Amino acid sequence: MTDTLRIASIQANPTVGDIPGNLARARTLLAEVEAAGADIALFPELFLIGYPPEDLVLKPAAVADCAAALEELAADTAGLQVTAIIGAPWRTDDGLFNAVFVLAGGRIEAVRLKHALPNYAVFDEKRVFTPGPLPAPVTIKGVPVGIPVCEDIWTAPVCDALKAAGAELLLVPNGSPFRRTAHAERLATARARVAQTGLPLVYLNQVGGQDELCFDGASFALSASGELVQTLPHCREAVSVSVWQRGAGGVWACVEAERHAQDAGLAADYAAMVLSLRDYVNKNRFPGVILGLSGGIDSALSAAVAADALGPERVRCVMLPSRYTSQDSLDDAAACARALGVPYETIAIEPAVEAFAAMLAPAFAGRAPDTTEENIQSRTRAVVLMALSNKFGPMVLTTGNKSEMAVGYATLYGDMCGGYNVLKDLWKMEVYALSAWRNEHVPAGGLGPAGEVIPARIISKAPSAELRADQTDQDSLPPYPALDDMLAAFVDAEEEIEDVIARGHDPETVQRIQNLLYLAEYKRRQAPPGVKIGPRNFGRDRRYPITNRYRDRL
């Protein structure tokens, strides 16, 4: 039995479904921490298949490939001093489990099964996994160690059982996605388990973008008294070895560990957007992105995030002016492109719009122009961007914000056309705040330039789709501060209509906005994915029926 443990927290970025790639990455990391003298190498939840695997684990071949990869990795531990703790799906006669494996001495020493399966918000593990029994500790280097998996620490029973069975340390592999309140909630939950058991706890989280989720890392360790003794970076891969010693009464204390600053507030939001877009583009093997740069704030912030995620040379921006595009917009888009250092060009859509008008004139005879003609402009722009995407390979990045998507102020097969949207979970006022923040900061690991990359006039001018003369968003919508407040109450908090009105809003306006929110569900179902930032995003979090006559009434 040892009185000292060197625990390597491996905050790594797997790719869902890339079992050979994840195995190769695990091998490299295992060799790295062996060279650093680690006793234990702790990997994130389900690392070999990536998290969340969703229905991929229902494919027998995928689970069998993970089992084969585990055997290979276990064989690699022959002759190593380090013991690996790594996650993978595991099928037995009793079901399919979210499992963690202890690998040492060339073999699988132990298997532990996740007991508490989350089935709320973005999680649906009960759909694919069977809950395991309350786990027992695993003995590593003579020390009984508890390995609760992610959700297992969010209630008391698993840690209670591990403490009662003699565990002296808790090592927690996680796949916990980012949202603004996540880090504080994780820390509070971990401290509750430490207070409950009197055991120190090492919390290790995955990092990386996966479709609409960002895993932000931000791993940490707590002493037996709940003191924060180790912190790993936010939204970046990291390997950090903490040194623990058994003291009086058998209580383990951390005597050496790294403390990294972790992003918070707008910096954390922006970092999550950058990481998610970078991984979506790179893991899906796109050469870069292309977007319409309109001279408005949404496309400007989208371009800035893309430049920071991929580098300016991989971001192609196109101005697509119509007869209604103002000179200010032309100038502002060009200035933004210059500031970001991105490739930029202009392709006028007027010839195509006129062709559509001529083609449809007989069918539209006797009808006044309306939103139909506005939508034709938006869809023409989509055709141009998709043509460039098809010809040259970059993914089209859409630029709509959550406020617009909430009330349906977006055109199907027009400005909604594309492969990903980094603003999907940002209310309009959050777009303004992040744009101002980016002009003052370069995110850690960002590849874009410093300085004012979003011209001040883009931030200060009234927003407009410029699909008709003298148009502004506030012609038909409340001011964005009021609109965002109403929408956040309806969407994020599921407040009753009386409560929303009590926030100081006009009753008739509140009822109209609620109606627009429900009517636009069919559009949101067809929207591209985008990273979750706030408490409740459209898509994975909020699943309303499309056909829905319910309205909350006064």
DSSP string of 121-135, one letter each residue = TT--GGGT-PPPPPP
> Mean pLDDT for the chain?
94
User: Does a structural domain hold residue 75?
Assistant: yes
Q: Rg of the chain's alpha carbons, rounded to an integer?
A: 26
Looking at residue 541, its pLDDT comes to 85
For position 515, which CATH number holds?
Answer: 3.40.50.620
Which of these three, 262, 297, 325, is where a domain ends?
Answer: 262
Q: Indicate if the pLDDT at residue 466 is higher than 80.
A: no
Q: Is 114 a catalytic residue?
A: yes
Cα separation of the two ends of the chain = 68
Structure tokens at 364: 């539209």
Give residue-wise pLDDT tens across range 222-254. 999 999 999 999 999 999 999 999 998 889 999
What does DSSP assign to residue 155? S
Q: Indicate if the pLDDT at residue 7 is higher than 70.
A: yes
Cα separation values, 346 from 318, 332, 464, Å: 6, 13, 19
Q: What gap in Å lies between CA 475 and CA 319, rounded to an integer?
A: 24
Looking at residue 554, its pLDDT comes to 79
Summarize the confidence of residues 107-136 as an average pLDDT: 93
Which residues share a beta bridge with 85?
A: 42, 102
Q: Indicate if the pLDDT at residue 419 is higher than 60.
A: yes
Summarize the confidence of residues 136-144 as an average pLDDT: 96
Q: In terms of domains, do 342 and 452 share one?
A: yes
Looking at residue 356, its pLDDT comes to 96
Looking at residue 157, its pLDDT comes to 96
Q: In terms of domains, do 65 and 133 share one?
A: yes
Q: In terms of domains, do 314 and 388 share one?
A: yes
Looking at residue 95, its pLDDT comes to 96
Per-position DSSP letters for 194-255, written without gaps between them: HHHH---EEEEE-EEEETTEEEEB--EEE-TT--EEEE--BSS-EEEEEEEEE-GGG-EEEE
User: Does a structural domain hold residue 531?
Assistant: no
Looking at residue 465, its pLDDT comes to 64
Contact assessment for residue 262 and residue 233, using Cβ atoms and an 8 Å cutoff: yes
Q: What gap in Å lies between CA 320 and CA 465, rounded to an integer?
A: 12
Name the residue with tokens 């309303």.
544
CB-based contacts of 146, cutoff 8 Å, min separation 6: 135, 137, 138, 159, 162, 163, 165, 167, 169, 170, 171, 199
Confidence tier at 470 by pLDDT (50, 70, 90)? low
User: In this prediction, what percent of the chain has a pLDDT beyond 90?
Assistant: 89
User: Does a structural domain hold residue 479?
Assistant: yes
Contact assessment for residue 289 and residue 306, using Cβ atoms and an 8 Å cutoff: yes
Which of 34, 66, 109, 114 is an active site residue?
A: 114
Q: Is 45 a catalytic residue?
A: yes
What does DSSP say about strands 228-231 and 220-222: parallel, antiparallel, or unpaired?
antiparallel
Cβ–Cβ contacts within 10 Å for residue 189, how many?
Answer: 17
Q: Residues 292, 528, 47, 258: is their CA dihedral positive or negative?
A: positive
Instruction: Let me know the angle formed at the C-alpha of 455 by 449 and 460, rounded to the nearest 5 degrees.
Output: 145
Give residue-wise pLDDT tens across range 253-305. 999 999 998 899 999 999 999 999 999 999 999 999 999 999 999 999 999 99
Q: In terms of domains, do 381 and 448 share one?
A: yes
Is cis: bond before 52, omega within 30 of 0? yes
Confidence tier at 552 by pLDDT (50, 70, 90)? confident
For position 204, which CATH number holds?
Answer: 3.60.110.10
Overall number of domains in the chain: 2
Which of 34, 45, 109, 151 is an active site residue?
A: 45
Q: In terms of domains, do 226 and 291 share one?
A: no
Confidence tier at 468 by pLDDT (50, 70, 90)? low
Q: Indicate if the pLDDT at residue 482 is higher than 60.
A: yes
Q: Indicate if the pLDDT at residue 464 is higher than 70.
A: no
Looking at residue 475, its pLDDT comes to 62
Looking at residue 272, its pLDDT comes to 97
Q: In terms of domains, do 341 and 465 share one?
A: yes
Burial class (CB in 10 A: 0-12, 13-18, 19+), 354: exposed
Name the residue with tokens 């207070």.
195
User: Does a structural domain hold residue 389?
Assistant: yes
Cβ–Cβ contacts within 10 Å for residue 164, how many?
Answer: 12
Which residues share a beta bridge with 238?
A: 11
Q: Indicate if the pLDDT at residue 553 is higher than 90.
A: no
Give residue-wise pLDDT tens across range 39-51. 999 999 999 999 9
Which residues share a beta bridge with 231?
A: 220, 259
User: Does a structural domain hold residue 80?
Assistant: yes
Contact assessment for residue 156 and residue 196, using Cβ atoms and an 8 Å cutoff: yes
User: Does a structural domain hold residue 534?
Assistant: no
Structure tokens at 199: 């055991």
Q: In terms of domains, do 176 and 321 share one?
A: no
Residue 50, φ and ψ in degrees, nearest 5? 90, 155
Residue 72 amino acid letter: E
Q: In terms of domains, do 314 and 191 share one?
A: no
Q: In terms of domains, do 244 and 333 share one?
A: no
Looking at residue 539, its pLDDT comes to 82
Summarize the confidence of residues 454-472 as an average pLDDT: 77
Burial class (CB in 10 A: 0-12, 13-18, 19+), 355: exposed
Looking at residue 551, its pLDDT comes to 87
Q: In terms of domains, do 329 and 425 share one?
A: yes
Per-position DSSP letters for 293-315, written without gaps between them: --SSHHHHHHHHHHHHHH-GGGE
Residue 415 amino acid letter: D
Which of 109, 125, 150, 163 is an active site residue?
A: 150
Summarize the confidence of residues 374-385 as an average pLDDT: 95
Looking at residue 378, its pLDDT comes to 94
Q: Indicate if the pLDDT at residue 133 is higher than 70.
A: yes
Range of the domain at 116: 4-262
User: Does a structural domain hold residue 340?
Assistant: yes
Q: In terms of domains, do 163 and 96 share one?
A: yes
User: In this prediction, what percent of the chain has a pLDDT beyond 70?
Assistant: 98
User: Does a structural domain hold residue 230?
Assistant: yes
Q: What gap in Å lies between CA 492 and CA 426, rounded to an integer?
A: 12
Q: Is 404 a catalytic residue?
A: no
Give residue-wise pLDDT tens across range 175-221. 999 999 999 999 999 999 999 999 999 999 999 999 999 999 999 99
Q: In terms of domains, do 325 and 468 share one?
A: yes
Confidence tier at 467 by pLDDT (50, 70, 90)? low
Give residue-wise pLDDT tens across range 395-412. 999 999 999 999 999 999
Q: What gap in Å lies between CA 541 and CA 85, rounded to an integer?
A: 31
